[in-house]
């Protein structure tokens, strides 16, 4: 699973450090699906990428985009998952001593789907 964190220059380094440390665990906890070994998600399997927003960016102070595999139990509660992740991230940021606007986008994708047709 991949997650991208885009932040403005006013976001303190300590908040970004806390996100780097805690966000993989938050995502693993919320996006793990009960089931077989393929459904188990560990924090080490979450790939994070941090980048600084353009000075012309007028959006939120912190934008987190999460790209995860769409498994049927996840799809049914996509909005609930994004809300739970947002609540935990906001809690983490406020305990770090910052007040920033946060935007969470959860993209559940189909992986390994292919279409093949025979030519006649």
- Using one digit for the tens of pLDDT, what is the confidence trace for 50-84? 999 998 988 899 999 988 877 665 555 777 888 89
Q: What is the CATH architecture assignment of 2-109?
A: 2-Layer Sandwich (3.30)
How far is the C-alpha of 115 from the C-alpha of 104, rounded, in Å?
31
Place of tokens 């006649």: 120
pTM: 0.80
Domain residue ranges in the chain = 2-109
Reading the block at residue 11, the tokens are: 């976001």
Res 100: pLDDT: 92
Give the pLDDT band of residue 98 (cuts 50, 70, 90). Answer: confident
Asked if residue 114 has pLDDT above 70, the reply is: no
């Amino acid at each position: 699973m991949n997650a991208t964190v885009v932040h403005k220059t006013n976001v303190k380094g300590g908040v970004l450090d806390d996100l780097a440390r805690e966000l993989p665990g938050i995502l693993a906890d919320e996006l793990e699906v009960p089931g077989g070994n393929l459904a188990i998600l560990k924090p080490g399997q979450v790939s994070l990428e941090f980048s600084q927003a353009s000075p012309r960016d007028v959006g939120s102070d912190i934008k987190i985009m999460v790209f995860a595999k769409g498994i049927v139990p996840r799809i049914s509660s996509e909005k609930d998952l994004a809300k739970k992740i947002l609540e935990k991230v906001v809690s983490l940021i406020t305990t770090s001593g910052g007040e920033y606007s946060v935007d969470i986008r959860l993209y559940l994708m189909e992986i390994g789907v292919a279409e093949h047709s025979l030519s006649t």
